[in-house]
Structure 1
Amino acid sequence: MSDTSRPRASLRTAVVWEVLKEALDRRVKATGRDVLDVLDTGGGTGKFAVPVAHLGHRVTVVDPSPNALFGLERRVAEAGVADLVRGVQGDAQGLLDVVERDSYDVVICHGVLEYVDDPAEGVANAVAALRPGGILSLLGAGLGGAVLARALAGHFTEARTALTDPAGRWGAGDPVPRRFTAEQLSALVSEAGLAVGAVHGVRIFADLVPGVLVDTEPGAVEALMRLEEAAAELPAFHAVATQLHVLGEKPA
Structure 2
Amino acid sequence: MSDRTGTSAGGLGEGGATGPGRAANAARTAVVWEALAGLLDRLGGGAPLDIVDAGGGTGGAAVPLAELGHRVTVVEPSPDSLAALERRAAERGVRVRGVQGEIGDLVSLFPAGGTDLVLVHNVLEYVDDPVAALRDVVGVTRPGGAVSLLVTNAVAGALHRALAGHLTDARALLEDVEGRWGPGDPMPRRFTRRGVLELVGTVGLTDERVRGVRVFADLVPGQAWEGDVHAGRHLVELEKAAAEHPELLGIATQLHVTAHRP
Alignment TM class, shorter chain as reference: over 0.9
1:197: Cα distance to partner? 2.5
Cα distance in 2 between the residues matched to 1:88 and 1:199: 29
1:99: Cα distance to partner? 2.2
Which residue is equivalent to 1:177? 188
189-198 vs 172-181, which deviates more? 189-198
Q: 2:247 aligns with which of 220, 236, 239?
A: 236
* Preserved CA contact (<8 Å) 2:74 2:98: yes
Cα distance in 2 between the residues matched to 1:39 and 1:59: 6
1:244: Cα distance to partner? 0.4
1:7 aligns with 2:20: no
119-128 vs 212-221, which deviates more? 212-221
Which residue is equivalent to 1:248? 259
Q: 2:56 aligns with which of 25, 33, 43?
A: 43
Cα distance in 1 between the residues matched to 2:51 and 2:103: 15
Q: Deviations over 1:47-72 (max 9, x none)?
A: 11011111110001001111111111
Q: Deviations over 1:106-144 (max 9, x none)?
A: 111101100000000111111111111001101101001
1:93-112 correspondence runs (5 A):
93-112=104-123
210-219 vs 85-94, which deviates more? 210-219
1:101-180 correspondence runs (5 A):
101-180=112-191
State the secondary structure of the residue aligned to 1:38. Answer: strand
* Preserved CA contact (<8 Å) 2:7 2:64: no
182-191 vs 139-148, which deviates more? 182-191
Cα distance in 1 between the residues matched to 2:203 and 2:144: 14
Cα distance in 2 between the residues matched to 1:80 and 1:198: 33
1:25 aligns with 2:38: no
1:72 aligns with 2:85: yes
1:206-245 correspondence runs (5 A):
206-217=217-228, 219-245=230-256
Query: 1:69 and 1:4, CA in 2 relative to 1: closer, same or farther beyond 3 A?
Result: closer
State the secondary structure of the residue aligned to 2:123. Answer: coil
Cα distance in 2 between the residues matched to 1:17 and 1:219: 20
Q: Deviations over 1:61-105 (max 9, x none)?
A: 0011111111111110111112xx100011112221222221110
Unaligned runs of 5+ in 2: 1-5, 15-24
> Which residue identity lines up with residue 239 of structure 2 in the other structure?
E
Cα distance in 2 between the residues matched to 1:130 and 1:230: 30
Cα distance in 1 between the residues matched to 2:146 and 2:226: 36
Query: 1:218 and 1:34, CA in 2 relative to 1: closer, same or farther beyond 3 A?
Result: closer
Q: 1:59 aligns with which of 67, 72, 76?
A: 72
* Preserved CA contact (<8 Å) 1:137 1:245: yes
Unaligned runs of 5+ in 1: none
Cα distance in 2 between the residues matched to 1:196 and 1:186: 11
> Which residue identity lines up with residue 47 of structure 2 in the other structure?
D
187-196 vs 215-224, which deviates more? 215-224
State the secondary structure of the residue aligned to 2:60. Answer: coil
State the secondary structure of the residue aligned to 1:60. Answer: strand
State the secondary structure of the residue aligned to 2:94. Answer: coil
* Preserved CA contact (<8 Å) 2:7 2:68: no
State the secondary structure of the residue aligned to 1:239. Answer: helix
* Preserved CA contact (<8 Å) 1:201 1:245: yes
